[in-house]
Structure 1
Amino acid sequence: MSTGLPLVTTADRRNRLGRRHRLAPSARAATLGEVADAVVALHATDAATVYLSARARLAEGYGPPAIERALYEDMSVVRLLSMRNTLFAVSAEFAPYVDSSTARAIAAKERRTFLKHLAEDGQGLGADWLAAAETAALDALDARGPLTGSQLSAAVPVLQQKITIGRGKKYEAETGVATRVIRLLAADGRIRRDRPRGSWTSSQFRWRHTQPWPAVPAAEARAEIARRWLRAYGPATEADLKWWTGWTLTDVRKALAAVGPEQVRLDDGGAALVCPGDTGPEPATEPWAALLPGLDPSAMGWADRSFHLDPAHRPALFDYAGNIGPTVWWNGEIVGGWAQRQDGEIVWRLLAAPGRDAEEAIGTEAARLGAWVGDARITPRFRTPLERELVS
């Protein structure tokens, strides 16, 4: 590697994270759409994550009701099954690119798999039956929606059908079709998640009939995602982008070639990629502390997170499947974890020694989080050793 490459230091990378991910107080966003675009996509597998990730990046006064309006009334941010076959929330302007680059292929694969299961079940169900079931579900949503999955199943008798998966095999199991049909409709963009039953922490979503996203050429869509991702997460590597998107290596390389990234040198002597012209040093922000939820994009944006996470902290902060739990940050580095107890108290523990100023700022941020959450109770979908310990 040439030593003549521009150097982007670990400090630069942490400064970028604080400013570009809207975590420093002076960089906080005015809308949920700005937050989603700043990090490209918000993890949405856990309903509370979208709200808590947004809270850490939004200006004061932007509470859960405003986020709900953005998601379910303005629909300026929408949920899509996309990168790594995972649910993300993205801005409506960006959604067609995510859909065309990633969600279309996932939807096609899901449909092939389900049709295979229908054929193997032996009841004579197939593509015609599935098309009729989907039409009946959409008709019910038009007449009575929005509806939860259980309400939709009750309203559409064909969705109460059961099939056997793996007939004659060790893993043979009888299952209903409603969840699979709803998942296919959502993957195709013909239905979208609406306001859930219960509070903002609930994942029991209602469903609404909508029109699919406008088509964008897949190669163009992947290039746009790669460009935005490099702007938010660069310096980063080809391997980081492949991990984050779940694309094939061929698609990753074609998308990067379309962007034309520049190469930079890192502190450890390795090389990484940035957007064209994005090689300069990043000015420091004011000191900042953040309490981010499990699966927050700032913790999940790279395959290699060593610039902001000491590998020694991984056993406490990750579950067995590699999902990161709630984290405490100081100036672009993960220094601990946090949890909410049943009485509502926000508790946290440092895994590093960032100093007295950091501890005071983290305590202030924990109090701000507790006031924002109010009476809501948050239990992460993916429990980690430290989070469990803090609430025990």
Structure 2
Amino acid sequence: MGGVGGGVRRHIGAAERRARLALRHRLTGAARAAAPEEVAASLVALHGSDPATVYLAVGARLADPVKTLPETERALYEDRTLVRMHGMRHTVFVFPTDLTAVVHASTGLTVAARERASLLKDMAKAGAPDAAWLAEVEESTLAALARRGQATATELAADEPRLREQFVYAAGKSYEGVHTVSTRLLRVLGVEGKVVRGRPLGSWTSSQFRWAVAPAHPELDAAGAQAGLLRRWLAACGPATEADLKWWTGWRVTEVRRALSAIGAEAVSLDEGDTGYVTEGDAGPVAEPVEPWAALLPALDPTAMGWQRRDWYLAPELRPSLFDYSGNVGPTVWWNGRVVGGWAQRPDGEVVWRILDAEGVGREGETAIAAQAEHLRTVLNGSRVTPRFRTPLERELSAPSA
């Protein structure tokens, strides 16, 4: 069995990939987690663009759904063992705290440099103050945030009034607009790893957050951090193709190949002639039996969004119903490693679902899916959740019943 360079390749088919997914993503009963930290470590990252996704993704994988809301809040805002920050593809994720330095060095620094340059360029075009002025505002803002612990942009502007300054963006263009210094600067500080999102202003479904000073972390070598992140992700999601890796990380293909070589990744063959990669020593068959399982996963769940090439778990004909026009997946129903439908909540809070691909589901599958719907109701605990990115089936199912 060889590394990236060649050797005899073992074949890992779709059925085995689904078995790996079930166990490593904690979706079977025996693999369920006891705490949110275990879920995040197993998945590497939880999508955080929609705040509700974090809680629902955790809840779908906890053995005790009653713990979902209080334990996830504890991890995020009390113990800070989970941190919400910008990561791959300039997207907001929730990571285990011990992974923040790796994410920052492997994916954040390049994006951060681009974001700061863009802000300074836009300010210069608008005749706004220069980089020295912005540096003063930044220093003052970080000092104010350190004093307060957590604060909104409005609260910070009370301490540093220059945050209220505005400048015209893209003057004369069809998309011309007015930006406030606080909005753009806090975004830059976020991707630079200097600030992170703190407690929300409202409930656990709120998308309005306070800001907090980022936890201290060591500065790592970019190439070493990329190798570390890729090793973690392949352990959770391998085998994956080079296209999957490039898409998930947002790196250049040369960076992906360098990281694969650095960790001694092993090449395997996949269905339809694709080449996939696993971590060194991980090409063997799944040793544990996988019991039949069902799951109701939220919009943007890291399992549903984990790979660019998804035909091995999601039939192409289901995509128009389950994805929006930007490629964001909505709430999904799973049976034995395949997406078979979608779910939603009606205005009265009722959880409803529809099977779009009934092949192999049968009575056993329907019973298991109904049990997971009950699990989800326990997680929700009376809350009403509307995904941030609406999809055709979710919109249809969420309409009031006749």
Query: Match of 1:388?
Result: 395
Query: Match of 1:304?
Result: 309
Deviations 1:35-85 (A, max 9, x none): 112111111000000101111112214220111010011111101211011
Query: Match of 1:286?
Result: 291
Asked if the contact 1:99/1:213 (under 8 Å) is kept, the reply is no
Q: Among residues 117, 133, 139, which one is paired with 1:135 in the alignment?
A: 139
| Aligned AA (1:387) | E
Q: Among residues 30, 38, 44, which one is paired with 2:48 in the alignment?
A: 44
Q: Among residues 108, 111, 114, which one is paired with 1:109 in the alignment?
A: 114
* Match runs of 1:58-137 below 5 Å: 58-60=62-64, 61-123=66-128, 125-137=129-141
Structure 1 range deviating more: 382-391 or 3-12: 3-12
| Aligned AA (1:70) | A
SS of residue matched to 1:163: strand
SS of residue matched to 1:329: strand
SS of residue matched to 1:352: coil
| Aligned AA (1:87) | V
Q: Among residues 157, 182, 189, which one is paired with 1:185 in the alignment?
A: 189
Query: Match of 1:165?
Result: 169
Structure 1 range deviating more: 265-274 or 14-23: 265-274
| Aligned AA (1:114) | L
Deviations 1:192-219 (A, max 9, x none): 2111111111111111224543111100
Q: Distance in 2 between matches of 1:122 and 1:212?
A: 35
Q: Distance in 2 between matches of 1:39 and 1:108?
A: 28
Q: Distance in 1 between matches of 2:228 and 2:252?
A: 16
Q: Distance in 1 between matches of 2:54 and 2:237?
A: 19
* Match runs of 1:337-356 below 5 Å: 337-353=342-358, 354-356=361-363
Give me the identity figure in percent: 52
Query: Match of 1:315?
Result: 320
Q: Among residues 355, 376, 380, which one is paired with 2:383 in the alignment?
A: 376
Asked if the contact 1:98/1:225 (under 8 Å) is kept, the reply is yes
Asked if the contact 2:58/2:68 (under 8 Å) is kept, the reply is no
Query: Match of 1:214?
Result: 218
Asked if the contact 2:9/2:268 (under 8 Å) is kept, the reply is yes
Q: Distance in 1 between matches of 2:216 and 2:138?
A: 14
Q: Distance in 1 between matches of 2:215 and 2:302?
A: 28
Deviations 1:245-275 (A, max 9, x none): 1001111111111011112122333321111
Q: Distance in 1 between matches of 2:269 and 2:190?
A: 42
Root mean square deviation, CA, Å? 1.7
Asked if the contact 2:241/2:274 (under 8 Å) is kept, the reply is no
Q: Distance in 2 between matches of 1:239 and 1:81?
A: 22
SS of residue matched to 1:298: coil
Q: Distance in 1 between matches of 2:295 and 2:173?
A: 49
* Match runs of 1:134-283 below 5 Å: 134-282=138-286, 283=288
Asked if the contact 1:289/1:328 (under 8 Å) is kept, the reply is yes
Deviations 1:137-156 (A, max 9, x none): 22322333411223323443
Gap change, CA 1:119 and 1:3, over 3 Å in 2: closer
Asked if the contact 1:235/1:273 (under 8 Å) is kept, the reply is yes
Structure 1 range deviating more: 358-367 or 153-162: 153-162
| Aligned AA (2:228) | E
Deviations 1:7-58 (A, max 9, x none): 2121110000000011111111222222112111111000000101111112
Asked if the contact 2:88/2:248 (under 8 Å) is kept, the reply is yes
Gap change, CA 1:136 and 1:266, over 3 Å in 2: same
| Aligned AA (1:380) | P
Aligned positions, number? 391
Q: Distance in 1 between matches of 2:155 and 2:165?
A: 15
Q: Distance in 1 between matches of 2:153 and 2:176?
A: 24
SS of residue matched to 1:58: coil
Asked if the contact 1:80/1:103 (under 8 Å) is kept, the reply is no
TM-score in terms of structure 2 length: 0.94
Q: Distance in 2 between matches of 1:281 and 1:43?
A: 29
Q: Distance in 1 between matches of 2:148 and 2:79?
A: 21
Query: Match of 1:363?
Result: 370
Deviations 1:158-184 (A, max 9, x none): 011010112233433222121111112
The gaps in structure 2 that reach 5 residues or longer are 1-5
| Aligned AA (1:110) | E
